[in-house]
Structure 1
Amino acid sequence: MAGPEAPTRSAARLLTALLAVLTVAVVGACSSPSTGGETVETEVVTGPRTAVVDAEPEPITTDPEPALPATVRGADGVETTITDVSRIVAADRSGTLAQTVYALGLGDNLVGRSTPSFPAIEDVPNVTPGGHGLNAEAILDLNPTVVLTDTSIGPLAVQEQIRAAGVPVVFVDPERSLDTVAADIESVAAALGVPEEGRALADRTLAEIDAAKDSIPAEHPEPTVAFLYLRGSAIKMLGGPGSGADALIAAAGGRDAGVLAGLDSEFVPITSEAMIASSPDIILVMTHSLESVGGAEGMARLPGVAQTPAGKTGTIVDMDDSILLSFGPQSGRVLAALVEAFYPADES
């Protein structure tokens, strides 16, 4: 579903914006206020680039000492007592829970994980090898002492079956955004009996997010960025409000194209009308998503892409699938990588 037509850029509106010293986005260029009170136009740097971030979370400690038993109330309202964290299964769609366990210093205790991964845990058994589906028998065969999960993965009957077998199952809030990062980290830490490490990790992550925001150039374009979620010919979606990417784009100094186009869903199928209405200067995409449609050439063949400013200039920013929307302890580093990709210092 396409949103309303993009706002007009008449000379009168542009003049009003200039006099008010407001930032105005234009096709292929954006304005930002100068220190002298005048408005200077700064062009969006064009061309493809990869936003690079080290996918390996840095543990906040190497030798945590869990204080157990720990009793917590999960996002499902169930109160659970954990007495042993020596064998942890962490399963959610984005891989955030495994990242958090590792960053808390308990990576050696992971015995099961979901598909999103990073080098340090690649050898840990994947409990969702077919995608997002859990298998109770496969998980129980790992003899877990605690399972961390959320409702982004299922079916719910499997998680309930594991709980019925006597394994503590803690549900974490499935909502992921920059605003939930600290609370999510601390909730996982509380369940694993390491609340002090959780507070320290949350503080470090928030500091890294602030540092990334501070790294945005003082005079920068305000690019309109469209997030596309692609899986070959089967899934071609444009992100809108609540996609997760919209929060990252805004924090990096950009404007989410789907939001500007008036989309009312997190994702809508890509159509020529939706893409043209969103009019992005930059297309943001996961690396494997880009590969799944045949790279930049395949991207240009998607409906409406070639008619957008980003399509005309080939301005595509890609980032590793397993980390872009994870919203875990790597959030500050993800944001810093996007800032660097949106405003390349050596090309500006």
Structure 2
Amino acid sequence: MSNRIRVRFLFGGLVLALVLLGCSTETTTAAKDGTGVTTATVANADPRPVVAKATSTLPVTVRGFDGVDVTVTDTSRIVAADRYGTLAQTVFGLGLGDRLVGRSTAAAFPAAKNIPDVTPGGSAMTTEAILNLNPTVILTDTSIGPKKVQDQLRAAGIAVVYFDPARTLESVVPQIDAVAQALGVPQQGKALADRTEGEIAAAGTHVPKNADPLRIAFLYMRGPAITMIAGPGSGADALIEALGAKDAGTESGLTQQFVPITSEALIAAAPDVFLMMTDGLASIGGPDGLQKIPGVAQTPAGKNKRVVDMQDSELLSFGPNTGEVLSALAGALYPQHT
């Protein structure tokens, strides 16, 4: 976490907490004693634009994450495609949601539901489908592809701007700034970045400062065939750290972002809480199905059936709603403190 965010997060205090009054969060909590299943929910899943309708100042030339200088001359028809839906969230947050004509599957917030999905299945774009939308600018990164499609779109004369695919707490503000610059709305970008940073800081008021840190393991599940535990660099580790806790996977010695779950790995991690995506938890049969995963029942979290889940499209997006996500998760993790 950057020093700028860390200081504001830890010492934001009551004044910054008031920022969240207009974007309250909700949690469905099983018990106040830290046991049971809790679903953390933001009150409004839609990105909140900093202005009702932004106006781009063009042309602008920006250097994409791929090192290519791209000149953007028209932002009237935007396609935003990445694995986490972050870019589409940011477009809406900047006040340009009415110009978004294509989005990735992960951009599943209500305001985007009628916008064509250019990544059916979640990860692969097709050249023809995107060209049919007549985009004037495409925002993307290397978390999605295939690369040949992105190259074909650029060869067709469309401005294709690449962004950093990393999704961490430290990437939130730079990502907002970069998208705003590419779309010719730097002032809106600063306003959105400042608001987001303030909300991240305010979320820190929900985290107890003197308690022993929880050990939290992020489990990625997609049915019984895909069961993974997160380690360093997964993005979940940054989220867990921001919540005043320890990433159990990292603490247990994992060295990769995600590794297959084994009894040994879970028992070594010894998590107090499992953090999961809502659809992932449902894909294995809910809390009862989770108990059947080898090693789960032998952990403190398994013995207490302590699970915090959150909607897939929100949990690891690290977009303009990051402060709301942190606040909702803090309320779920520390019900006795809220």
TM-score (norm 2): 0.88
Give, in whole Å, the separation in 2 of the partners of 1:102 and 1:295.
32
Give the corresponding residue for 2:37. 48
Q: Deviations over 1:87-106 (max 9, x none)?
A: 00000000000000000000
Give the corresponding residue for 1:71. 61
Count of aligned pairs between the two proteins: 305
Give the corresponding residue for 2:217. 226
C-alpha deviation, 1:221, in angstroms: 4.1
C-alpha deviation, 1:213, in angstroms: 1.4
Give the corresponding residue for 1:114. 104
C-alpha deviation, 1:222, in angstroms: 1.4
Matched, 1:265 2:260: no
Instruction: Give the superposed CA RMSD.
Output: 1.2
Matched, 1:126 2:117: yes
1:185-196 → structure 2 map (5 Å cutoff): 185-196=176-187
Give, in whole Å, the separation in 2 of the partners of 1:222 and 1:119.
35
- Percentage identity across paired residues of the two chains: 59
Of 131, 137, 149 in structure 1, the residue corresponding to residue 128 of structure 2 is 137
The 8 Å contact of residues 75 and 171 in structure 1, kept in 2 or not, is answered as yes
Q: What SS does the aligned partner of 1:230 have?
A: strand
Q: What SS does the aligned partner of 1:76 have?
A: coil
C-alpha deviation, 1:333, in angstroms: 0.8
Of 78, 83, 89 in structure 2, the residue corresponding to residue 93 of structure 1 is 83
Matched, 1:104 2:91: no
The 8 Å contact of residues 63 and 105 in structure 1, kept in 2 or not, is answered as yes
Give, in whole Å, the separation in 2 of the partners of 1:147 and 1:337.
32
The 8 Å contact of residues 59 and 102 in structure 1, kept in 2 or not, is answered as yes
1:6-25 → structure 2 map (5 Å cutoff): none
Give, in whole Å, the separation in 1 of the partners of 2:47 and 2:317.
12
Give, in whole Å, the separation in 2 of the partners of 1:94 and 1:342.
23
Give, in whole Å, the separation in 2 of the partners of 1:254 and 1:106.
36
The 8 Å contact of residues 63 and 69 in structure 2, kept in 1 or not, is answered as yes
Q: What SS does the aligned partner of 2:169 have?
A: coil
Cα 1:250–1:257 shift into 2, 3 Å? same
Give the corresponding residue for 2:325. 334
**What residue ranges of structure 1 are gaps of 5+ in the alignment?**
1-42
* Structure with more of its chain in helix, by fraction: 2
Give the corresponding residue for 1:313. 304
Give, in whole Å, the separation in 1 of the partners of 2:190 and 2:53.
16
C-alpha deviation, 1:220, in angstroms: 3.2
Give the corresponding residue for 2:18. none
Q: Deviations over 1:24-58 (max 9, x none)?
A: xxxxxxxxxxxxxxxxxxx9711110111132111
Output the amino acid matched with 1:128. Answer: T
Give, in whole Å, the separation in 2 of the partners of 1:266 and 1:65.
39
Q: What SS does the aligned partner of 1:173 have?
A: coil
Give, in whole Å, the separation in 2 of the partners of 1:44 and 1:87.
50
Give the corresponding residue for 2:139. 148
The 8 Å contact of residues 33 and 336 in structure 2, kept in 1 or not, is answered as no
Cα 1:315–1:234 shift into 2, 3 Å? same
Q: Deviations over 1:228-258 (max 9, x none)?
A: 0000022100000011111111110111110
Cα 1:340–1:315 shift into 2, 3 Å? same
Give, in whole Å, the separation in 2 of the partners of 1:197 and 1:345.
37
C-alpha deviation, 1:219, in angstroms: 3.8
Of 231, 256, 260 in structure 2, the residue corresponding to residue 240 of structure 1 is 231
1:166-205 → structure 2 map (5 Å cutoff): 166-205=157-196
Give the corresponding residue for 1:62. 52
Larger radius of gyration: 1
Give, in whole Å, the separation in 2 of the partners of 1:297 and 1:98.
35
Give the corresponding residue for 2:22. none
The 8 Å contact of residues 220 and 343 in structure 1, kept in 2 or not, is answered as no
